[in-house]
């Protein structure tokens, strides 16, 4: 039984935390492996198939596959695709593409969820360098703002301030979340400050902090496939995600390698 489960947050038991830590480590391992496999000329279908094999080789299963009907093992979002890009046999990855890889691994009843955005090819344009640099640093600022006794809003403020420093659009329709025995648990973790400060951060909480930032406007829309989220202005987007455990003395980022 959980120590505490409320509508607005979940405190995980020590046993659950041990299993969540393992699932998160596997997800991080898969994330790095898949990113290393990305090549110009391959299709997102082929990359997704490889991802399924890699996930299963860890002893885990793909969390996303079948989740609310999602049709892929991972999410592969390219250029102006923000998140939830689905695999396609006719979608080729090309040099110059910005590719976001979002991975979920279920192991022993717990979930690891993590994401990373990479550039395919040689020299990175200055604007893409800024996009990737500040999206990742916004993630780090959000993580640095998390501590026991603080609030979810502290994380949001850390992400938002760094995103604004990079002059990036902050996607508001999709946010971070709790994670552990299910992929999506309370609370929501917005990447922008709202009037509510959100729950107090307490030991045993596990959160996914995941900035989704655009080179242009914050406005996005969902494609006709019902999944793929795109920027309205066609500008590229980036997505980085880590899982963080709130401890008695601070935090532990569970998806670092």
Q: Which H or E run contains 57?
A: helix 44-57
Give the torsion sign (CA, 70, 72, 77, 83).
Answer: positive
Q: Is residue 2 one of the residues assigned to a domain?
A: no
Name the residue among 1, 76, 23 with its Cα closest to residue 182.
23
In a domain, 1, yes or no: no
Contact of 254 with 21, CB cutoff 8 Å: yes
pLDDT for 94 beyond 60: yes
Q: Is residue 242 very low, low, confident or very high in pLDDT (cuts 50, 70, 90)?
A: very high
Residue 18 lies in a domain: yes
140-176 CB burial, b ≥16 within 10 A, e <16: bbbbebbebebbbbbbbbbbbebbeebebbbbeebbb
Name the domain count of the chain. 1
Determine, yes or no, domain membership for 111.
yes
Is residue 79 one of the residues assigned to a domain? yes
pLDDT at 33: 99
Q: Which of 155, 152, 136, 135 lies closest to 144, judged by CA?
A: 155
CATH number at residue 31: 3.90.230.10
Q: Is residue 9 domain-resident?
A: no
Tens of pLDDT, residues 161-212: 999 999 999 999 999 999 999 999 999 999 999 999 999 999 999 999 999 9
Q: Is residue 130 part of a domain?
A: yes
- Both ends of the chain: CA-CA distance in Å? 31
Residue 5 has pLDDT above 70, yes or no: no
Q: What is the pLDDT of residue 122?
A: 87
**Domain of 199, in residue numbers:** 14-253
Residue 168 in domain:
yes
pLDDT recorded at residue 2: 37
Bridge partners, residue 102, by sequence: 75, 115
pLDDT per residue as tens digits for the range 18-72: 999 999 999 999 999 999 999 999 999 999 999 999 999 999 999 999 999 999 9
User: Rounded distance, CA 186 to CA 196, Å?
Assistant: 15
| pLDDT score of 9 more than 80 | yes
Q: Model confidence at 6, in pLDDT bands (50, 70, 90)?
A: low
Q: Are 27 and 21 in contact (CB under 8 A)?
A: no
Residue 135 pLDDT exceeds 50: yes
């Amino acid at each position: 039984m959980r120590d505490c489960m409320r509508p607005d947050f979940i405190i995980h038991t020590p046993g659950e935390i041990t299993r969540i830590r393992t699932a998160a480590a596997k997800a991080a391992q898969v994330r790095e492996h898949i990113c290393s496999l990305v090549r110009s000329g391959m299709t997102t279908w082929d990359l997704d198939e490889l991802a399924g094999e890699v996930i299963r080789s860890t002893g885990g299963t793909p969390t996303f596959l079948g989740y609310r009907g999602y049709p892929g093992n991972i999410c592969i979002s390219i250029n102006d695709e923000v998140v939830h890009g689905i695999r396609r046999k006719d979608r080729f990855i090309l040099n110059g593409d910005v590719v976001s890889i979002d991975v979920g691994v279920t192991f022993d009843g717990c979930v690891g969820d993590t994401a990373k955005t990479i550039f395919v090819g040689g020299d990175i344009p200055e604007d893409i360098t800024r996009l990737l640099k500040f999206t990742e640093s916004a993630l780090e600022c959000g993580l640095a703002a998390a501590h026991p006794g603080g609030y979810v809003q502290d994380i949001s403020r850390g992400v938002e301030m760094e995103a604004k420093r990079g002059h990036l659009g902050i996607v508001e329709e999709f946010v971070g979340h709790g994670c552990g025995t299910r992929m999506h648990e309370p609370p929501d973790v917005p990447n922008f400050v709202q009037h509510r400060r959100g729950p107090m951060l307490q030991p045993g909480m596990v959160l996914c902090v995941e900035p989704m930032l655009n080179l242009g406007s914050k406005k996005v829309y969902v494609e006709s496939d019902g999944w793929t989220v795109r920027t309205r202005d066609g500008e590229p987007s980036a997505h980085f995600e880590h899982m963080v455990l709130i401890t008695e003395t601070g935090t532990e980022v569970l998806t670092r390698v």
